[in-house]
Structure 1
Amino acid sequence: MVFLGKLSTGVFKFMFYFVPLSSDSAGIAEVKPDYRLYVMAPLGQITDWDAFRAELELLKENGVYAITTDIWWGLVESEKDNQFDWSYYQKYSEAVEASGLKWVPILSTHQCGENVGDVCSYPIPSWLWKEDSAENMAFKSESGDWNKEVLAPWWEGTSIQYEELYRSFAKNFSDKRNLIAKIYLSAGPAGELRYPSYQKTNGWKYPGRGELQAYTDGAKSDFRLSMKEKYASITKLNVAWGKRYTNWDEIQPPNNGDEFFKVGGAIDTAFGIDFMKWYQGTLEKHLASISRLAHKHFDRVFKVPIGAKISGVHWKMNDPFMPHSAEYSAGYYNYSQLLDQFKKSKLALTFTCLEMGDSAAQTAPQYSSPKTLVAQIATLATKKGLSLNGENALAINDVGSYDNIAEMVFNYGFDGFTFLRMSYLFDDKGNPTAELRLLADKLQSKSIPVTFTVDNVPATRGVYLIGDRGEIGRWNPVDYEYKLTQSEKGNWSGTFRLAANQSYQFKFIMKDENGKITWQQGENKNLTTPMAGKGAYTSSW
């Protein structure tokens, strides 16, 4: 890159402050002592084991603590009830163990193949559908669309089938207790505790709110039973709801979701409140059930944390006509109450969409505020004393997304972050991609906060830091770019996270109002970051 000129005013100076992790300086967050970086394994089955082992070793070298893996129910119990084949995952666990990484199995009792990013097709065991009718076991939406990617929480056989899976896993992997760092439970579609409200296979398109999933005979029966338990008599229910029902069978879920959710609609009535409490409450009961079974079979054998995931349903949050309707359709009516169930169930919480920022999407048609939502959930989780972990929701390959993740993870007390997905970190030949470099620099547990300050820069220009880690003296095609902010004193600064004990080079640029870049220095600044938590480093130029 070419030097294009010198500053016409004053002396151009910058300083690097490498702050130890114990620092309580304003604006610099601490990394939790037990913070961990995880990477999600490919969805499909491994075919090239040598390449897989080599990639695992590279993850270990780049500060990754553990690999998380979907244990597909449709693969291990495909033949018939209670007949398990764990051979593939036993070989898999041995490959992970040899790499030095830890392992986080996800007992994936949902289907792979109908959600964003799915590149495989593993339905849940087909023999299940002979156990009962779809009216009891599956989901049906407002529009009458069926969904069979996961068992309905109100079906009495769901917990029975899950317990058999949990029991068999504990028996077959008890010798891997030192390898397994955590176990995750799939609690719904895409492994998330929610309803299959937004499914592309059923015609959903972002940013639509999705549809309620309470229209099977099993769902209606469960809703009516819940109302019987609350009101005891149809007369008392009629008084509360302002209805004239003569029997319980007349009770129905909302017949028009859009009308139900609109401002001033039925959602704000006694009926609407009761329905939404039941709708979310069913998820809470399901979580309580599967967590009890998991603790029963895993605690004694593995002695590790058990967790579950909530989806970051960030669109329609600010919709002036149907606020929070996408969240409500998915089953998220009261986050505080939902997180209380995580606490009661002694479960770690994982939340998604940490890579996203609040932007122009806060207006129509998205009405989206993902960063606000992450902060809300993180604050609630911290107050309730939950172990909090994060994930990205979509594939990411830009610096800004990594910066968003780092900001949330290191400023809101996350215990760990899981990157989705391993396949983005390596090319077809198994070579590391730029994403692996960004992951290691910004999100590994040994990263450190670094403050950059520049003095005597014209206030009319935007100031940026360009950085690179790699061979000193040679800039990679993808450089880091950080936007600095101006203080009241007139200098420009910004705090970022970089990998500890790594060599970097930096230069500053200025952009005019049209975005045109002008280089303002005659040399690059080379430096090596100190070890994590080791002292402070200052350099001026």
Structure 2
Amino acid sequence: MWTIILIMIPLMLLIRRRLWKKPQKSRSWDFAGTPYVPVYVMLSLGVIDMNCVLVDPEGLRNQLKILKSVNVDGIMVDCWWGIVEGHAPNVYNWSGYKTLFQIVRDLKLKLQVVMSFHECGGNVGDDVHIPLPHWVTEIGVSNPDIYFTDRDGRQNSECLTWGIDKERVLKGRTALEVYFDYMRSFRVEFDAFFEDRVISEIEIGLGPCGELRYPSYPEKHGWRYPGVGEFQCYDKYLMKSLMKAAEERGHSFWARGPDNAGSYNSTPHETGFFCDGGEYDSYYGRFFLNWYSRVLIEHGDRVLALANLAFEGTCIAAKLSGIHWWYKTASHAAELTAGFYNPSNRDGYSPIATMLKKHETALNFTCVELRTLDQHEDFPEALADPEGLVWQVLNAAWDVSIPVASENALPCYDREGYNKILENAKPLNDPDGRHLSAFTYLRLSPILMEKDNFIEFGQFVKRMHGEAVSDLQNTKLEGMDTQIPEQEKK
């Protein structure tokens, strides 16, 4: 009897403590005292027009003042190849960027600048059209193989195929020489902004949307989420590379792309290549995917080596896309067509991180605001896992000790999305105390500047900076007109 009582007393006390336990502080507000993560905001895609003129200097100045009032660290802007070198080879017009950069310097903000060697238009969020330089598209008329090409022979003019990195098909220059000349011109033109460190980082465009990937899921060719996409290696230059690799392997008949990988909107189980136990894991499949992913890594390696020459002493970064659909399948089909050789039995991001480490390049990764549960509710058929993907990529980068920055993949205005970003930016349970080196918000817009949305954003910035914020606290913008002028909305 006494034994039972002695056992029951501490058990009752434990139950009582749990029932009367003080409510824990909300996860929404417990980032005070955490590391300072700088926050940048992307400017609108059309802030510089096709004549390289800043569209609305005074309107932009007012917007940047509002961003400055909540202690945003800086802004990110695309320097479009199609605008700056748009009309003739080696003729650069930086005029609109000079005006923009001076405004940023006057407001004591920092600049992340993207060397954008890709076309703008045709992808999610693109609201303007900025093609590749006119003289490049003229070459493409007579030689369409300068572009990535799918199995049916459809070219994609978003960016140049990596097959011409070393081919003198651009008015006597290789693609690598074109990229380097552009970067060197920028470095010389804006020397003063580098010297006083207004320019804090240069992000190097390495493919479509500025990301190191193949253009495997282009909406212009009918792709819709969550299609697996298609391999993009059928231009004559990449096929020549594949032939060489197959011959070196001793199997010249392997010099072909998969003939059973479906089409842009296929699901993995519909194909013989991507299904469980499919050809992706055969001897040929492993050969092809190794070659396909190696071409991607070698392109990044070559361009980043030149970027380090052009921007010596400045932080450079490369961007990876967050291809999270079909992540819960064995093949990871959508990642494979994009060039990330990351099936369930292989880590496809570690070799990329190692290449970035070689050039001391920071990794910028997307989709940190997405929740796996939300994806499962909205698109259960996609078997997506953005949280698993983010965790894998961040750890691949942290394992080789390179800085990791991030940005949101889709517009984000609510606290739930901001909380997810914060959880990834500063993992509270990480024993090594690792955190993002910076976060870039996509993007400045009239919706962001609406009063309630901007107050929420201002509190998000405080939490990223490690400052204390309470549920009832308002930002300095309470009562201030944060609306973007009407002409900016048009």
Q: Displacement of 1:398 after TM fit?
A: 2.0
Matched, 1:176 2:186: no
- Partners of 1:268 and 1:407 in 2: CA distance: 35
Matched, 1:351 2:377: no
Question: Does the CA-based 8 Å contact 1:424-1:435 persist in structure 2?
Answer: no
Q: Which runs of 5+ in 1 are unaligned?
A: 1-9, 21-26, 238-247, 451-465, 476-541
Instruction: Report how many residues are paired.
Output: 419
Q: Displacement of 1:126 after TM fit?
A: 2.2
Question: Does the CA-based 8 Å contact 1:425-1:434 persist in structure 2?
Answer: no
Structure 1 length as normaliser, TM-score? 0.72
| Equivalence for 2:170 | none
Matched, 1:470 2:474: yes
Matched, 1:167 2:171: no
Deviations 1:318-356 (A, max 9, x none): 13xx63101111111111111111111221000000110
| Equivalence for 1:442 | 460
Q: Displacement of 1:187 after TM fit?
A: 0.6
Question: Does the CA-based 8 Å contact 2:243-2:255 persist in structure 1?
Answer: yes
- Partners of 2:190 and 2:445 in 1: CA distance: 26
| Equivalence for 1:256 | 260
Question: Does the CA-based 8 Å contact 2:297-2:352 persist in structure 1?
Answer: yes
Matched, 1:314 2:324: yes
Q: Displacement of 1:383 after TM fit?
A: 1.2
Greater fraction of residues in strand: 1
Matched, 1:104 2:112: yes
- Partners of 1:407 and 1:198 in 2: CA distance: 29
Matched, 1:142 2:151: yes
Deviations 1:298-317 (A, max 9, x none): 11xxx221001000001111
Question: Does the CA-based 8 Å contact 1:30-1:410 persist in structure 2?
Answer: no
SS of 1:181's equivalent in the other structure is strand
Q: Displacement of 1:447 after TM fit?
A: 3.2
| 2:411 partner amino acid | A
SS of 1:447's equivalent in the other structure is coil
| 2:272 partner amino acid | E
Deviations 1:450-481 (A, max 9, x none): 7xxxxxxxxxxxxxxx9343289x99xxxxxx
| Equivalence for 2:424 | 408
Among candidates 42, 45, 54, match of residue 43 of structure 1: 45
- Partners of 1:336 and 1:375 in 2: CA distance: 13
| Equivalence for 1:417 | 439
Structure 2 length as normaliser, TM-score? 0.79
Q: Displacement of 1:63 after TM fit?
A: 1.9
- Partners of 2:305 and 2:423 in 1: CA distance: 34
| 1:342 partner amino acid | L
| 2:299 partner amino acid | H
| Equivalence for 2:132 | 124
Among candidates 226, 244, 250, match of residue 225 of structure 1: 244
Question: Does the CA-based 8 Å contact 1:135-1:217 persist in structure 2?
Answer: no
Question: Does the CA-based 8 Å contact 1:424-1:433 persist in structure 2?
Answer: no
Matched, 1:389 2:395: no
Q: Displacement of 1:441 after TM fit?
A: 1.2
Q: Displacement of 1:142 after TM fit?
A: 2.9
Change (3 A) 1:267 1:168: same
Change (3 A) 1:249 1:442: same
1:77-88 equivalences under 5 Å are: 77-88=85-96
Q: Which has the higher contact order (CA 8 A, sep 6+)?
A: 1
Matched, 1:280 2:282: no
| 1:268 partner amino acid | D
SS of 2:471's equivalent in the other structure is strand
Change (3 A) 1:224 1:433: farther
- Partners of 1:146 and 1:136 in 2: CA distance: 8
| Equivalence for 1:374 | 390
For the aligned residue pairs, the C-alpha RMSD in angstroms reads 2.8
Matched, 1:198 2:194: no
- Partners of 1:222 and 1:76 in 2: CA distance: 31
Change (3 A) 1:31 1:291: farther
Q: Displacement of 1:131 after TM fit?
A: 4.4
Question: Does the CA-based 8 Å contact 1:287-1:345 persist in structure 2?
Answer: no
Question: Does the CA-based 8 Å contact 1:392-1:420 persist in structure 2?
Answer: yes
Moved more, 96-105 or 438-447: 438-447
SS of 1:154's equivalent in the other structure is helix
- Partners of 1:124 and 1:67 in 2: CA distance: 24
